[in-house]
Amino acid sequence: MQQTTSPKGLSGFALKYLALALMVLDHIEYFFAYTGKIPIFLSMAGRLSAPLFLFCVIEGFVHTHDRKKYFLRIYLLSVFMGAVQFSFYNLGAVLVRPDGFFPQNQMLASFSILIVVLQGFDWCTRRKWGPGLCAILIPVLLPFAVSALMAAFPSPACGFTLNLLAFTLLPLHTFIMDGGTATLIFGVVLYLFRKNRKAQAAAFVAVCILWDIVRLRLLAPSLRMTDFFTTAYEWMEIFAVIPMLCYNGTRGRGCGRFFYWFYPAHIYILYALSCILYGIIV
């Protein structure tokens, strides 16, 4: 009887579990940094989490048998989390921690925008130029249209409605604190180079350096090189290419729904615990 062996490397689920563990470390520092007791290296290690989840989202988009269902799972959760985020801004006295902190985690909204754009690229490769270009350009340009509407109609009612839509049904990449435009750019690069893993890794590193280091140097010329190892360490996400290169192309074993629900659940649990602890020690 012939025995089958698993291919060497990391499966899709293995990458997700690794990203999940790094995300939890990052969010422990994020929610409890006010204590002054959480080492910054937890957040540094957590820089790898978002790129790994991004990589897995793209692989899922490419290989899923039902893209509509795949998109809706991510999108509907992003709408829910966007509504919670909007509530923090509008019910601050009730929900916000006494020091003014509240979570601004909207990575699922970033992924939702990206999936629409990737579908546009897919349609264009199949010469469906109309829907393809619309799927690419509308999500990219929508934030500028909304900003123009807010400027043209500065009434509180209009601002409230447009902000509610931006946080829920129509997420805008420039409005998102967690991911946003960077996730859209990185995701497109990973998608376009997906057929050559080494080229994909090299392109990701190059874009990350341009976005995280060159952009910061231009926006904040007073930054020193040492700052990139203390406070401006977003660039450390380039190390995510190491597990990416170890991906063996298989799905692996695991429960896909677990990741969808774990993301919002652990955020709100950690935030609640941080509020309780804040009330005790401050």
Q: Measure the CA–CA gap between 40 and 46, rounded to whole angstroms.
A: 10
Domain boundaries, the chain: 12-281
Asked if residues 127 and 199 have their Cβ atoms less than 8 Å apart, the reply is: no
Decide: 152 and 146 in contact? Cβ < 8 Å.
no
Report the predicted TM-score, pTM, of the whole model to 2 decimal places: 0.93
26 vs 39: CA distance, rounded Å: 10
Render each residue's pLDDT in the chain as its tens digit; 282 residues: 344 456 889 999 999 999 999 999 999 999 999 999 999 999 999 999 999 999 999 999 999 999 999 999 999 999 999 999 999 988 777 889 999 999 999 999 999 999 999 999 999 999 999 999 999 999 999 999 999 999 998 888 998 999 999 999 999 999 998 889 999 999 999 999 999 999 999 999 999 999 988 888 787 888 888 888 888 999 999 999 999 999 999 988 888 789 889 999 999 999 999 999 999 987
Instruction: Compute the distance between CA of residue 118 and CA of residue 124 in angstroms, rounded to an integer.
Output: 10
What local confidence, expressed as pLDDT, does residue 87 receive? Answer: 92
For residues 48 and 61, is the Cβ–Cβ distance under 8 A? Answer: no
